[in-house]
Amino acid sequence: MGTLMQAFVTALYGAWLIAAGVWRYSESGSNAALGFGAAMGVMALLAASLFYKKRTGWAKILTAVTLLFVVGFFITKSAKEGVDLRVGIILVASLMEAIVVFKPSKN
């Protein structure tokens, strides 16, 4: 997969993480959700900028760290509280992000 596509998908993922934090904040007033969404979203946006600059090694490392935090948190949360629409979308988006970023290319 080309680095421009990885940059685009990763930027969308980062924007979604920020939006999901805002969504949760608007529902419950949770500053922690807003902070987590913003922090993880910014990490993904930084990874997207690294993909755009063709620094794929660093971009993949940053993406992996972001995915570990996001998926780890939401799997744990889902085990305790169940899956709602927002969490389900985050987990599916995380899976799609991992596929786009880490699927071996056919070069």
pLDDT attached to residue 34: 96
Among 6, 43, 77, residue whose Cα is nearest residue 86: 77
Q: What is the pTM of this model?
A: 0.92
What digits encode the pLDDT tens for the residues 26-58? 999 999 999 999 999 999 999 999 999 999 999
- Spacing of C-alpha 99 from chain mean position: 12
Least trusted range by pLDDT, from 6-10, 75-79, 90-94 = 75-79
Highest mean pLDDT (candidates 1-10, 40-49, 80-89): 40-49
Taking the C-alpha atoms of residue 22 and residue 8, their distance in angstroms, rounded to an integer, is: 21
Among 4, 9, 13, 12, residue whose Cα is nearest residue 100: 9
Among 3, 1, 99, residue whose Cα is nearest residue 48: 3
